[in-house]
């Protein structure tokens, strides 16, 4: 559960980076935050996890206002996976890295082992538990960063370009993690340049343009508004363009496109 109310933020007076941003995200929804480089996505992310404070307006994460909750306590409500996993990894073993967060929460013994084991399984690194995180491939390292956050079971999860540089197996694994979190009732926010990934995984899209919330629509509604996607500077996924060109209902994935195409050509 996440509430952003009329938030404005500026690094320097008179030059707002974000203006009048308002949105609410219920539990169990996957929301993509999209926009050009410099549209304010990263700033919004840092407001949500409390690293920045809004100049005006308020942000409430799982019942905690970011303005009066210290960042390290807010971390129990909102987990962030940053773009550079190397900046947060410090343990000599993958398993210790995953266990760090739950230990901070006071978990010990069997409960801790179970939680860490389950996370290692989900990120596909059960076989690398004892390996040094810097001795594994960069994409696996990103999975370690994701796992270290999942292990804290935050009700809100922020993923910043988590899909970048991942191959098919890793992308599929990430999609599964997102779907599982959604099913558990986690609020998931994706900051993402890859519109195909957005189309396949997000329920809703928030489009930022020059620091303003220029779009807040269902994923389908967003990608079928050509003027809006152009103004926000994102690509329309090929599946949406193809189904539009063929006069089909907009399809967000190849699966749905194939189904729609067959259904029509059956009739």
Partner 1 sequence: MALIDVADLAFRFPRAKELVLDGITLSIEAGERVAILAPNAAGKTTLARWLSGLLPEGVLTAERGHVAMAGKPFAEWSVAERATAIQFVGQVPSQQLTGCAFTVYEEIAFGPCNLALPEAEVRARVDEALTICNLRHLAERDPFTLSGGETQRLSIAAALAMKPRVLVLDEPTSNLDPESRDDLLAQLDLLPGGLTIIVLEVALRPSLALAKRFLLLDQGRIVADGTASEVLNDPRCIETLGMTAVTEAAFRLREAGRWPDATLLPLTLNEALDSFGAPRAHG
Partner 2 sequence: MSAGKAGQPSLLFTPGESLLHRANPITSLALMLWMISAAAVLPTIGTTILTAAAILVSLVTGVGKRAVKRLLLTMTPIGVALVVVHGLLIERPDFYDHGLVSISPSGLDYALRVFMRVAAMLMATLLFVTTTHPADMLKALDQRGVPPGVGYLVASPLLLIEPFSDRAKAIRDAQRVRGLDMTGSWKARIKALPVLLMPLITLALSDLDQRASVLSGRAFRALPRRTVINAPHDSTFQLWLRRLLFTLAVLQLGIPLLWR
Q: Can you tell me which of 111, 169, 249, 263 binds partner 1, judged by CB under 8 A? A: 169
The interface partner of residue 8, options being partner 1, partner 2, none and the CB cut-off 5 to 8 Å by kind, is: none
Least gap, CB of 107 to partner 1 (angstroms): 30
152 binds partner 2 (CB under 8 A): yes
234 binds partner 1 (CB under 8 A): yes
51 binds partner 2 (CB under 8 A): yes
Least gap, CB of 194 to partner 2 (angstroms): 22
Q: Can you tell me which of 3, 64, 88, 241 binds partner 2, judged by CB under 8 A? A: 88
183 binds partner 1 (CB under 8 A): no
What is the sign, positive or negative, of the torsion defined by CA atoms of 124, 126, 129, 135?
A: negative
What's the per-residue H, E or C state across the chain?
A: CEEEEEEEEEEECCEEEEEEEEEEECCCCEEEEECCCCCCHHHHHHHHCCCCCCCEEEEEECCEEHHHCCHHHHCCCEEEECCCHHHCCCCCCHHHHHHHHHHHCCCCHHHHHHHHHHHHHHCCCHHHCCCCHHHCCHHHHHHHHHHHHHCCCCCEEEEECCCCCCCHHHHHHHHHHHHHHHHHCCEEEEECCCHHHHHHHCCEEEEEECCEEEEEEEHHHHHCCHHHHHHHCCCCCHHHHHHHHCCCCCCCCHHHHHHHHHHHHHC
Least gap, CB of 55 to partner 1 (angstroms): 22
71 binds partner 2 (CB under 8 A): yes
19 binds partner 2 (CB under 8 A): no
Nearer to partner 1 by Cβ, of 8 and 253: the residue is 253
Q: Can you tell me which of 2, 44, 76, 251 binds partner 2, judged by CB under 8 A? A: 76
160 binds partner 1 (CB under 8 A): no
Q: Can you tell me which of 12, 15, 245, 267 binds partner 1, judged by CB under 8 A? A: 245
Which residues sit at the interface with partner 2, rule CB under 8 A?
Answer: 46, 49-51, 70-76, 78-80, 82, 84, 86-91, 100-101, 104-105, 134, 148-149, 152
């Amino acid at each position: 559960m996440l509430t952003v109310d009329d938030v404005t933020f500026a690094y320097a007076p008179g030059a707002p980076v974000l203006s009048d941003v308002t949105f609410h995200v219920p539990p169990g929804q996957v929301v993509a935050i999209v926009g050009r480089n410099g549209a304010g996505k990263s700033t919004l992310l840092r407001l949500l996890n409390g690293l920045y404070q809004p100049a005006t307006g308020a942000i409430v994460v799982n019942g905690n206002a970011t303005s009066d909750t210290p960042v390290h306590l807010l971390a129990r409500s909102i987990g962030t996976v940053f773009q550079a996993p190397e900046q947060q990894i410090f343990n000599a073993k993958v398993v210790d890295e995953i266990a760090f967060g739950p230990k901070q929460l006071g978990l010990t013994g069997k409960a801790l082992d179970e939680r860490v084991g389950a996370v290692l399984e989900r990120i596909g690194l059960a076989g690398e538990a004892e390996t040094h995180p810097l001795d594994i491939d960069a994409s696996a390292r990103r999975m370690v960063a994701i796992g270290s956050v999942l292990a804290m079971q935050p009700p809100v999860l922020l993923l910043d370009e988590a899909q970048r540089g991942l191959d098919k197996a890793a992308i599929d694994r990430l999609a599964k993690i997102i779907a599982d979190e959604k099913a558990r009732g986690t609020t998931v926010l994706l900051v993402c340049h890859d519109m195909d990934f957005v189309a396949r995984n997000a329920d809703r899209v928030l489009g930022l343009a020059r620091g303003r919330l220029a779009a807040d629509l269902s994923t389908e509604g967003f990608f079928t508004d050509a003027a809006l996607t152009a103004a926000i500077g994102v690509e329309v996924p090929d599946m949406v363009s193809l189904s539009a060109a063929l006069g089909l209902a907009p399809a967000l994935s190849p699966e749905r496109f194939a189904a729609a195409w067959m259904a029509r050509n059956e009739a």
